[in-house]
């Protein structure tokens, strides 16, 4: 199907068309991106049929000859030379050395639900640490859209992200084991640092002792797939090969340049990575398969979904639709739709409130009702997408 859509075209969806307009100057910095992603020198309108013939030929080569067709030979040489012209140190040999990994997921139990995440070098641990902290508070007794719930959630997330920014890296370079960071006793010490009445300074490096597509499918045998893929920023680097139509991600910006940090830029390393599909398990079976697009927001999105569904009993679509909040630096960034009383309550607790210029994140989810034998889907109204049963 990917070959068919690249070769014969696909209609551009409304949100994609709207976002595309904002990246013209970025795409014009690359001859390949201009050629393949600025048809007739501009961006496609909603409903225009977009074709990517060079990418179709690349996909055909992969379909015929497997991964080596991409990571070795003419396609790899085209990618390496395109990047070299922009000053990159990546070579064709680096592409040839690439190997994917099958990994063991990590999880935490939150009020009877096992939230399952991808391990480092991704940020899935961030969501687990945040939930471990929040488990120390009776959230169900608080208003789901009230200031107390949002205050605690934001403060716990600040701790979870501080753990991420201090520790998560290529696993072989991490100094503190994942199990120690995911420890309930460690979370209890972090929870003790929160003040329910106000925003307080929190440790910057707590230590014990970002153009994404998400989809999820559950089949008739109840096999659940939670999948996410991303170029990170919109159009990634904005650099595209002219011959083969490959657009490069900018995941390298997930590295830090601080000497001695486990996530510092270096050879044979992957950067801290933001994309994290998730599963919520109950009694050894999949209860909900879900993900939330949105770069750094994703762990916060997972936490908000878990709280909405399992603390507040929201159905899956209501859990997705509910207004969201996050933080950027010292600012608390809220979506339009958060009740005014909650906004004022957060201000009273010391939060510097900023309204998000565009919605936070984009979720898709499926719950499995084992008792009634049905699947319940929910889809993000903030983005293009749908929940579909067939």
Residue numbers annotated as active site: 212
SS (H, E, C) 325-360: EEEECCEEEECCCCCHHHHHHHHHCCCEEEECCCCC
Query: Parallel, antiparallel, or unpaired for β 278-282 and 113-117?
Result: antiparallel
Between CA 91 and CA 154 the distance in angstroms is 42
Percent of the chain's residues with pLDDT above 70: 98
At 8 the pLDDT is: 97
Instruction: State mean pLDDT over 160-174.
Output: 92
Indicate whether 200 pLDDT > 90. Answer: no
Beta partners for 328? Answer: 331
Residue whose pair of structure tokens reads 């904005």 in the numeric block:
238
- Token pair belonging to 318: 């209501």
Instruction: Please tell me which residue, 275 or 206, carries the higher pLDDT value.
Output: 275
Instruction: Please tell me which residue, 202 or 87, carries the higher pLDDT value.
Output: 87
Instruction: State mean pLDDT over 47-76.
Output: 96
Instruction: Please tell me which residue, 339 or 296, carries the higher pLDDT value.
Output: 339
Give the burial string for 155-180 (b: 16+ CB within 10 Å, else e).
Answer: bbbbbbbbbbbbbbbbeebbebebee
Identify whether the C-beta of residue 269 lies closer than 8 Å to the C-beta of residue 54. Answer: no
Dump pLDDT digits (tens) for 99-110: 888 999 999 999
Between CA 328 and CA 290 the distance in angstroms is 24
Dump pLDDT digits (tens) for 302-333: 999 999 999 999 999 999 999 999 988 889 99
Angle made by CA atoms 185, 187, 189, in degrees to the nearest 5: 75
| H or E, element range at 364 | strand 362-369
Dump pLDDT digits (tens) for 29-57: 999 999 999 998 999 999 999 999 999 99
Cβ-based burial of 72 (10 A; exposed 0-12, middle 13-18, buried ≥19): middle
- The answer for residues whose C-beta is within 8 angstroms of residue 306's C-beta and 6 or more apart is 110, 113, 115, 127, 131, 280
Dump pLDDT digits (tens) for 246-280: 999 988 888 989 899 999 998 888 998 888 899 99
Give the burial string for 112-142 (b: 16+ CB within 10 Å, else e).
Answer: ebbbbbbbbbbbbbbbbbbbbbbbbbebeeb
Q: Which contacts of 151-154 are long-range, i.e. CB under 8 A and separated by 24 or more positions?
A: 151/196, 151/199, 151/345, 151/346, 151/349, 151/351, 152/194, 152/196, 153/300, 153/303, 153/304, 153/307, 153/325, 154/199, 154/325, 154/326, 154/327, 154/332, 154/346, 154/351
């Amino acid at each position: 199907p990917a070959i068919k859509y690249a070769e014969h075209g696909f209609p551009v969806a409304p949100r994609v068309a709207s976002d595309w307009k904002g990246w013209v100057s970025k795409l014009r910095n690359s001859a390949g991106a201009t050629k393949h992603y600025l048809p007739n020198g501009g961006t496609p309108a909603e409903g225009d049929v977009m074709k990517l013939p060079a990418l179709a030929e690349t996909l055909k080569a992969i379909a015929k000859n497997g991964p080596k067709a991409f990571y070795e030979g003419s396609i790899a040489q085209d990618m390496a030379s395109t990047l070299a012209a922009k000053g990159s140190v990546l070579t064709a040999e680096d592409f040839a050395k690439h190997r994917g990994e099958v990994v063991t997921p990590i999880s935490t139990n939150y009020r009877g639900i096992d939230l399952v995440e991808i391990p480092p070098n991704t940020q899935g641990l961030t969501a687990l640490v945040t939930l471990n902290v929040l488990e120390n508070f009776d959230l169900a007794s608080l208003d789901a859209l009230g200031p107390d719930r949002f205050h605690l959630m934001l403060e716990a997330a600040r701790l979870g992200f501080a753990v991420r920014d201090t520790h998560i890296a290529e696993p072989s370079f991490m100094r503190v084991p994942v199990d120690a960071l995911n420890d309930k006793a460690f979370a209890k010490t972090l929870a003790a640092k929160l003040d329910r009445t106000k925003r307080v300074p929190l440790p910057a490096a707590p230590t014990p002792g970002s153009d994404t597509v998400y989809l999820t499918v559950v089949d008739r045998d109840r096999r659940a797939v939670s999948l996410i893929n991303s170029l990170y920023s919109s159009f990634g680097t904005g650099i595209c090969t002219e011959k083969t139509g490959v657009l490069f991600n900018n995941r390298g910006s997930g590295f830090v340049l601080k000497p001695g940090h486990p996530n510092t830029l270096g050879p044979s390393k992957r950067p801290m990575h933001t994309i994290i599909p998730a599963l919520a398990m109950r009694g050894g079976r999949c209860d909900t398969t879900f993900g939330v697009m949105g770069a750094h927001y994703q762990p916060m999105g997972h936490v908000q979904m878990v709280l909405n569904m399992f603390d507040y009993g929201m159905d899956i679509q209501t859990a997705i639709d509910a207004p969201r909040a996050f933080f950027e630096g010292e600012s608390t960034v809220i979506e339009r739709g958060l009740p005014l009383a909650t906004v004022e309550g957060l201000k009273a607790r010391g939060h510097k409130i900023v309204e998000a210029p565009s919605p936070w994140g984009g979720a898709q989810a499926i719950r499995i009702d084992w008792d009634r034998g049905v699947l319940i889907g929910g889809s993000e109204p903030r983005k293009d997408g749908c929940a579909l049963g067939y």
